């Protein structure tokens, strides 16, 4: 069982100009004191085509983490425009918030981000070279995508073994299982998420 | 932190980190009867006085408080034994002895040693305690039964005094079990777990304990009556209560009536009414709570809003040795404070997902900007610029479809574009993979992943909505083609199509289903008014009968998962190819990678499939059936009225038409199973709806109605049979738990289980606590079990038939031995006989059946399912002489019959341990296990009521071995 579950991520200052920093208020629950820090990262996907254009906007350690509920604000600078392919600067992309423990990623929260010109003139006649100072960033906060990964929460020795054991399994096609996820989302809408609860309606 | 039901079940007490205890009226949730304030620390345990006069709570403030239930005022506060205690335990679950004399606290200290304090009811004296645990006591739990010493054949001198049994769990990971008549513990088990014990629960019969621990494991300990003594029956227990405290369960309230055992029809009516009220109130309260929950929680006297405002300022940020930022998170709550999470969620606008959105599965991820049609379907202003000539979207029809969407609670915004125009999705697919795949940037151990597809279809941000408006979309697509992925080229004709489809009602959704054989489908009866409008979509108008079921509207495309193993799905695309003005619909079926497809001339309204057949219902009331390999099995079937629901299981096809007639065909054998049977008889009430439909493997249709009743159609009798009733009072009073086989009890699955839902245990509790006269309980239980057996038989569900028959048999055996013990002689025997005789003959009759064959000639499925053979019937050959020669009393003989029948005709049962003559094989050996003489005594006793129940959990020290003092 995961020791840490993310309860909520609130996107602050949204929408905002392209160059303003990202700010997320993250609250999480830890059901057992953690020996080491959690590492949080914000990754900005520069282009859908390739991971080459991913930018790690910031990475931060969070700790110490005793059992209980915690929250913090994770602030990271805007992506470096020069690293973004020009064709992908305007439009929809993705920002990811990931958390790792002992180098193992256990949760990923992704948001769609729409970069667009707020002014109608620019929108209709966008400059050939994107004008980042004019761009507005809008994070689709209502639609987070949460992915959880099972990791080994215990000490490092165990983890190494676990990885060794799991590697072959990866090679021959890992069985993926969809588990219902608690946490993010209004409690009221969760039943709709779970396929087992769903009934076909006419 | 803890919850506890009052002895009369009408109240529920909960204690919380907010230092209070709340008493809830369980009859009218969420009514709060009282809030007990007075503790100055987290309240970590609760217990009710078994006679209902007091409630006791123990808290971190080093006190144990006893409250009166009469006026909810403090009776006494006990602090002395807890003076030295620190708040080191997660819980402090105290317990009251079943005779009411003693209250035993969790963690107390005596001379710096951890103890469990015994508090006497008389004067709340604290003279005794349970000593021996090395760390704080977390849980104390009394056995619900009162015991008395086993009478040893007249050898025991004095009639022993009744005593109680108490289990104590501690942080030191050990468990001790005490009898109040002994000075030392009955048994102590050290190092049962890796971590502290969190809770203990006794089984109802008082002979087993479940213990759970922080380490995530649960242990089950099983005692024998030799170890604990003879449990007193409920009557004797209440007699003790009455003699000690006057009227037992002193508080007679109106609420109590509802949970009381039904003794006359008036009471039943009353209970029904109350249940109805309760239901109404529940739904109302659900609404209330959801709105109430949006009030922001308060932590440490500071509202969450404040915390959030100041978070950035307060946040402590340091640099590690290697220069990295390190944030110290702000602790907003301690552990175990699960209560206010909902408030917390609601106070933060994380997911603006609205109630009525359909959430797409992972396979068709939707991005808002792509889904250009959705805002319209939710009633956003219709773009006037769009040509809507072909749609036939009269405003009236539009509203109707919206209404009906709401009525069926089917969020209808299935976006046709997602499935049919993959070119539009592709750019987003690249993104979608990013949500789930680990990137190089964040390496991690490869492992299982899980995904939440939380596609939301409406957006609140103003500018995005603007973006979504088709008009904008069109403009931008012409102007800035490639730049904005949102505006991928969408031709005008396409848009037209989409609009058309979208204006017509869409209800059917292709969703992955778990169980291919028993696919639940929900539908509801709609008002005729709505339907007349809908009918326009159908070419032929039918005379509208009073009863109408909703019909699926044509969709542009949908997919349907038929089964996951083997993976099989059906894809439907309507009006996909236009050859010279003729529009064709395409049906595609993919089975484990192998695909076939065919075209149909009219639009496909709904589809269904099984591993054997695929069938689709089209407009013009046509039903086409294909084999799983794509061969057309029949020319199109003309249905009497438009289709409402289509269903396939095995080679059976079920069609429910809008005129509420039901037909089932076996398409392989080409026979009709159910011919246009009307649902009028079961859908009598005007507001009744069909909530679920099943088709069993044997082609038996089952309708679950909204009033909690479920009927199956018996083709051989042409009758609707009631197989389940949620308000069945029998089910609520039946208590056969002691007869449940240990492991497979909950694993029994099949149509009956699906229809009835998981066994509700609510009523049994009431029955037990109210000390029903044993006779009544026994009779209701028997009647209930017989109903179940019959229902399983009618549904031709062999597994379930076996399960319930077994339970029934076990129950008979259990009750038989109990009666013998009760020594009520002839009367008891007589009583047992009358309810038994009929059902038993019925059961064996079914098995014997006319044709002289033994193993259910009329029920080939039983053999099929179990794989047992006709040899089983030899049992009867052996039996009949026995019945004649040996029959002592009616009861005895029939029990013998039943016992023999288990292993044989039902197959796969573990043989009975005990004296079995080795030489005679097969069923005769089993005969010899039954003593020839009076059967009820030792003979029945030798049969284990629950084979395997005494198996200890792996790794669990067996109580006997661990016995000994501290």
For chain A, the domains span 2-150
The whole-number average pLDDT for the span B729-737 is 69
A4 shares contact with chain B (CB less than 8 Å): no
Give per-residue pLDDT as tens, B486-537: 333 333 344 443 433 333 333 333 333 333 333 333 333 333 433 333 333 3
Query: Rounded mean pLDDT of B281-286?
Result: 55
Number of A/B CB contacts below 8 angstroms equals 317
Q: Establish if A159 touches chain B: CB-CB under 8 angstroms.
A: yes
Q: What is the 3 state secondary structure string of B823-864? A: CCHHHHHHHHHHHHHHHHHHHHHHHHCCCCCCCCCCCHHHHH
Question: Closest-CA residue in chain A for B319?
Answer: A61
The partner residue sitting opposite B454, judged by closest CB among A58, A145, A150, is A145
**Region B529-553: what's the mean pLDDT?**
48
Query: Across residues B650-666, what is the average pLDDT?
Result: 87
The yes-or-no verdict on residue A21 having pLDDT over 70 is yes
Q: Which residues contact B38 (CB under 8 A, 6 or more apart)?
A: B65, B74, B77
Q: Do B346 and A31 touch (CB under 8 A)?
A: no
**Across chain A, what does the average pLDDT equal?**
77
Mean pLDDT calculated for residue range B315-330: 81
Identify the pLDDT of residue B268: 58
Give the strands of the sheet with B102-110, arranged side by side: B95-96, B102-110, B113-120, B128-131
Average pLDDT over residues A131-151: 88
| Residue A95 to chain B, least CA–CA distance (Å) | 9
Q: B369 to chain A: which residues are within 8 Å by CB? A: 92, 114
CA distance A18 to chain B (A): 15
A contacts of B552 (beta carbons < 8 Å): 202
In sequence order, which residues have a C-beta less than 8 Å from that of residue B679 and are 6 or more positions away?
Answer: B547, B656, B660, B661, B662, B690, B703
CA distance B557 to chain A (A): 15
pLDDT higher than 80, residue B130: yes
With 60 as the cut, is the pLDDT of residue B289 above it? Answer: no
Q: Give the pair of three-digit tokens for residue B825.
A: 């002689």
* Percent of chain A surpassing pLDDT 90: 23
**Structure-model confidence comparison of residues B113 and A94, the more confident one:** A94
Q: How confident is the model at residue B541 (pLDDT cuts 50, 70, 90)?
A: very low
Q: Which residue of A58, A69, A106 is in closest CB contact with B333? A: A69
Distance from CA of B428 to the nearest CA of A (A): 8
Instruction: Write out pLDDT tens, residues A70-120.
Output: 889 999 999 998 888 888 888 889 999 999 998 889 999 999 999 989 888
CB-CB neighbors (< 8 A) of B352 in chain A: 141-142
Task: Please tell me the predicted confidence (pLDDT) of residue B159.
Answer: 54
pLDDT digits (tens, 9 = 90+) for B839-878: 333 333 333 333 333 333 333 343 333 333 333 333 333 3
Q: What's the pLDDT band for A40 if we cut at 50, 70, 90? A: very high
Q: How deeply is B453 buried, as exposed, middle or buried, from its count of CB atoms within 10 A (0-12, 13-18, 19+)?
A: buried
Model confidence over B556-573: pLDDT tens digits? 778 777 777 777 888 888
Question: For residue A138, what pLDDT band results from cuts at 50, 70 and 90?
Answer: very high
Give this complex's ipTM.
0.72
User: What integer is the mean pLDDT of A118-131?
Assistant: 86
Whole-angstrom distance, CA of residue B672 vs CA of residue B665: 4
Predicted structure pTM score: 0.33
Note the pLDDT of residue B358. 34
B484 and A148 within 8 Å at the Cβ level: the answer is: no
Mean pLDDT of B717-743: 73
Residue B177 in this model has a pLDDT that exceeds 70: yes
pLDDT of amino acid B520: 39
pLDDT band at B39 (very low <50, low <70, confident <90, very high): confident
Nearest to B27 by CA among B768, B770, B762: B762
**pLDDT confidence tier of residue B305, bands split at 50, 70 and 90:** low
Q: What is the mean pLDDT of residues B7-30?
A: 85
pLDDT confidence of residue B738: 66
Write the pLDDT tens digit of every residue in B772-782: 567 777 788 88
Helix B798-822 to helix B890-901 angle (10° resolution) is: 140
Report the candidate in B412, B503, B740 with the shortest Cα–Cα distance to residue A201: B412
For chain A, report the end-to-end CA distance as a whole number of angstroms.
38
Over the stretch B791-800, which tens digit does the pLDDT of each residue have? 888 888 888 8
pLDDT band at A139 (very low <50, low <70, confident <90, very high): very high
What is the bridge-based pairing of β-strands A200-201 and B521-522? parallel
Contact B431 A100 (CB under 8 A): no
Q: Residues B921-959: pLDDT tens digits?
A: 333 333 333 333 333 333 333 333 333 333 333 333 333
Whether A105 sits inside 8 A of B522 (CB atoms) is: no
Q: Which residue of B has its CA nearest to A32?
A: B335
Question: Is residue B270 predicted with pLDDT exceeding 50?
Answer: yes
Q: Band of the pLDDT at B766, cuts 50, 70, 90?
A: very low
The listed range with the strongest mean pLDDT (B243-252, B383-392, B504-513) is B243-252
Q: Compute the nearest-CA separation of A69 from chain B (Å).
A: 5
Residues of B in contact with A107 (CB under 8 A): none
Lowest mean pLDDT among A48-57, B303-312, B639-648: B303-312
**Does A118 touch chain B if contact means CB atoms closer than 8 Å?**
yes
Do the chains contact at B438 and A149, CB–CB below 8 Å?
Answer: yes
Q: Are B461 and A138 an interchain contact pair (Cβ–Cβ within 8 Å)?
A: yes
- Select, from the ranges A115-129, A184-198, B817-831, the one with the highest average predicted confidence (pLDDT): A115-129
Asked if B550 and A202 come within 8 Å (Cβ–Cβ), the reply is yes
Q: Which of A1, A96, A201 sits opposite B408 (nearest CB)?
A: A201
Highest mean pLDDT among B425-439, B539-553, B647-661, B859-873: B647-661
Per-residue confidence band for B676, with pLDDT thresholds at 50, 70 and 90: confident
Q: Cβ A54–B324 below 8 Å, yes or no?
A: no
Answer whether B304's CB lies under 8 Å from B297's CB.
Answer: yes
Looking at residue A95, its pLDDT comes to: 92
Of B54-58, B308-312, B670-674, which gets the smallest average pLDDT?
Answer: B308-312
pLDDT band at A17 (very low <50, low <70, confident <90, very high): very high
Q: Does B431 contact A61 at a Cβ distance shorter than 8 Å? A: no
Domains and CATH numbers, chain B: 2-149+161-251 (2.130.10.10), 557-680 (2.130.10.10), 721-818 (no CATH)
Q: How far apart (Å, rounded) are the C-alpha atoms in residues B464 and B850?
A: 74
Query: In whole angstroms, what is the distance from residue B648 CA to residue B628 CA?
Result: 11
Nearest to B449 among A58, A75, A149 (CB): A149
pLDDT of residue A156: 54
User: Is A141–B349 a contact, with Cβ atoms under 8 angstroms apart?
Assistant: yes
Contacts of A112 in chain B (CB under 8 A): 367-368, 431
The pLDDT of B215-244, averaged and rounded, is 80
Which residues 43-102 in chain A show a CB within 8 A of chain B? 43, 45, 48-49, 51, 54, 56, 58-75, 87, 90-94, 96, 98, 100
> What class is the A2-150 domain?
mainly beta
């Amino acid at each position: 069982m995961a020791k840490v579950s993310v309860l909520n991520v609130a996107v602050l200052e949204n929408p905002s100009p392209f160059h303003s920093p990202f700010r997320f208020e993250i609250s999480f629950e830890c059901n057992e004191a953690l020996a080491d820090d959690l590492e949080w990262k914000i990754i900005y996907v520069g282009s859908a085509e390739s991971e080459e254009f991913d930018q790690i906007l910031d990475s931060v350690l969070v700790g110490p983490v005793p059992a209980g509920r915690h929250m913090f604000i994770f602030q990271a600078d805007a992506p470096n425009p020069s690293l973004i392919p020009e064709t992908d600067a305007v439009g929809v992309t993705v920002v990811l918030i990931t958390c790792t423990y002992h180098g193992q990623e256990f949760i990923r929260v992704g948001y769609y981000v729409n970069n667009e010109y707020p002014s109608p003139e620019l929108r209709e006649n966008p400059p050939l070279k994107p004008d980042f100072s004019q761009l507005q960033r809008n994070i689709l906060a209502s639609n987070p995508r949460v992915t959880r990964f099972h990791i080994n929460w215990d000490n490092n020795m165990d983890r190494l073994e676990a990885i060794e054991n799991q590697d072959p399994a990866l090679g021959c096609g890992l069985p993926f299982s969809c588990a219902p996820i608690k946490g993010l989302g209004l409690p009221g809408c969760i039943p709709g998420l779970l396929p087992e609860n769903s009934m076909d309606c006419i | 932190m803890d919850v506890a039901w009052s002895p009369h079940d009408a109240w529920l007490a909960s204690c919380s980190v907010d230092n209070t205890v709340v008493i809830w009226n369980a009859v009218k949730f969420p009514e709060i009867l009282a809030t007990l304030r007075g503790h100055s620390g987290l309240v970590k345990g609760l217990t009710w006085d078994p006679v209902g006069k007091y409630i006791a709570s123990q808290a971190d403030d080093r006190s144990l408080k006893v409250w009166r239930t009469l006026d909810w005022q403090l009776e006494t506060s006990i602090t002395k034994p807890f003076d030295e205690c620190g708040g080191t335990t997660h819980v402090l679950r105290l317990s009251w002895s079943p005779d009411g004399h003693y209250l035993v606290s969790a963690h107390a200290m005596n001379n710096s040693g951890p103890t469990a304090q015994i508090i006497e009811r008389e004067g709340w004296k604290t003279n005794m305690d349970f000593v021996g645990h090395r760390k704080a006591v977390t849980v104390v739990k009394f056995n619900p039964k009162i015991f008395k010493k086993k009478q040893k054949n007249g050898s025991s001198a004095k009639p022993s005094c009744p005593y109680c049994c108490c289990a104590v769990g501690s942080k030191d990971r050990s468990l001790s079990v005490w009898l109040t008549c002994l000075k030392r513990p009955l048994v102590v088990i050290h190092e049962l777990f890796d971590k502290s014990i969190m809770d203990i629960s006794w089984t109802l019969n008082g002979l087993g304990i479940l213990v759970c621990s922080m380490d995530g494991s649960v242990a089950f300990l099983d005692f024998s009556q030799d170890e604990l003594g003879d449990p007193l029956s409920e009557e004797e227990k209440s007699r003790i209560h009455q003699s000690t405290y006057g009227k037992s369960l002193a508080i007679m309230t109106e609420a109590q009536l509802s949970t009381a055992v039904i003794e006359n029809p008036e009471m039943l009516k009353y209970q029904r009414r109350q249940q109805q009220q309760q239901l109404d109130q529940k739904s109302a309260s659900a609404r209330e709570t959801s709105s109430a929950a949006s009030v922001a929680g308060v932590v440490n006297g500071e509202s969450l809003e404040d915390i959030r405002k100041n978070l950035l300022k307060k946040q402590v940020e340091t640099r590690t040795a290697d220069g990295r930022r390190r944030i110290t998170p702000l602790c907003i709550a301690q552990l175990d404070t699960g209560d206010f999470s909902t408030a917390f969620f609601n106070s933060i606008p994380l997911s603006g997902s609205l109630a009525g959105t359909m959430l797409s599965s992972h396979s068709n991820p939707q991005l808002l900007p792509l889904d250009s049609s959705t805002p319209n379907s939710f009633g956003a202003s219709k773009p006037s610029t769009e040509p809507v000539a072909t749609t036939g979207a009269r405003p009236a029809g539009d509203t109707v479809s919206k209404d009906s969407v709401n009525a069926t609670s089917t969020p209808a915004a299935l976006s046709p574009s997602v499935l049919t125009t993959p070119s539009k999705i592709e750019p987003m697919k690249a993104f979608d993979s990013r949500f789930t795949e680990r990137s190089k940037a964040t390496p991690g151990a490869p492992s299982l992943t899980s995904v939440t597809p939380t596609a939301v279809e409406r957006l609140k941000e103003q500018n995005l909505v603007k973006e979504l408006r088709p008009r904008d979309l069109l403009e931008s697509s012409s102007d800035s083609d490639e730049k904005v992925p949102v505006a991928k080229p969408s031709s005008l004709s396409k848009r037209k199509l989409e609009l058309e489809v979208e204006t017509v009602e869409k209800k059917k959704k292709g969703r992955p289903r778990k169980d291919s054989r028993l696919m639940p489908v929900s539908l509801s009866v709609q008002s005729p008014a709505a339907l007349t409008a809908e009918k326009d979509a159908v070419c032929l108008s039918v005379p509208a009968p009073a009863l109408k079921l909703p019909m699926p509207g044509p969709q542009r495309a949908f997919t349907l998962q038929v089964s996951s193993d083997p993976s099989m799905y059906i894809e439907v695309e309507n009006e996909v190819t236009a050859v010279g003005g003729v529009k064709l619909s395409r049906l595609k079926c993919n089975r484990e990678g192998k695909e076939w497809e065919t075209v149909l001339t009219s639009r496909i309204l709904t589809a269904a499939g099984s591993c054997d057949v695929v069938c689709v219902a089209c407009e013009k009331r046509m039903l086409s059936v294909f084999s799983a390999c794509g061969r057309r099995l029949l020319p199109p079937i003309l249905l009497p009225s438009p289709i409402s629901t289509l269903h396939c299981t095995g080679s059976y096809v079920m069609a429910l038409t809008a005129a509420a007639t039901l037909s089932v065909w076996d398409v392989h054998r080409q026979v009709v199973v159910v011919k246009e049977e009307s649902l009028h008889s079961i859908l009598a009430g005007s507001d009744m709806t069909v909530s679920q439909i099943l088709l069993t493997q044997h082609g038996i249709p089952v309708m679950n109605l909204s009033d909690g009743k479920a009927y199956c159609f018996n083709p051989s009798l042409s009758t609707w049979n009631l197989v389940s009733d949620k308000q069945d009072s029998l089910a609520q009073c039946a208590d056969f738990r002691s007869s449940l086989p240990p492991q497979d009890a909950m694993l029994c699955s099949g149509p009956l289980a699906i229809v009835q839902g998981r066994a509700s245990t609510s009523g049994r509790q009431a029955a037990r606590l109210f000390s029903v006269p044993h006779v009544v309980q026994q009779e209701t239980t028997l009647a209930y079990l017989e109903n179940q057996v019959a229902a399983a038989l009618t549904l031709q569900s062999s597994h379930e038939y076996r399960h319930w028959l077994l339970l029934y048999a076990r129950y008979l055996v259990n009750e038989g031995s109990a009666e013998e013990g009760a020594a009520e002689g002839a009367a008891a025997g007589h009583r047992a006989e009358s309810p038994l005789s009929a059902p038993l003959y019925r059961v064996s009759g079914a098995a014997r059946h006319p044709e002289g064959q033994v193993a259910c000639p009329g029920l080939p499925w039983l053999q099929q399912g179990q794989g047992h053979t006709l040899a089983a019937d030899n049992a009867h050959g052996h039996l009949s002489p026995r019945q004649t020669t040996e029959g002592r009393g009616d009861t005895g003989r029939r029990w013998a019959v039943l016992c023999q029948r288990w292993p044989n005709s039902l197959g796969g049962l573990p043989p009975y341990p005990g004296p079995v003559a080795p030489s005679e094989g097969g069923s005769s050996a089993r005969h010899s296990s039954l003593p020839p003489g009076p059967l009820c005594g030792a003979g029945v006793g030798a049969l284990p009521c629950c084979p395997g129940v005494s198996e200890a959990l792996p790794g669990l020290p067996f109580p006997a071995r661990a016995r000994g003092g501290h």
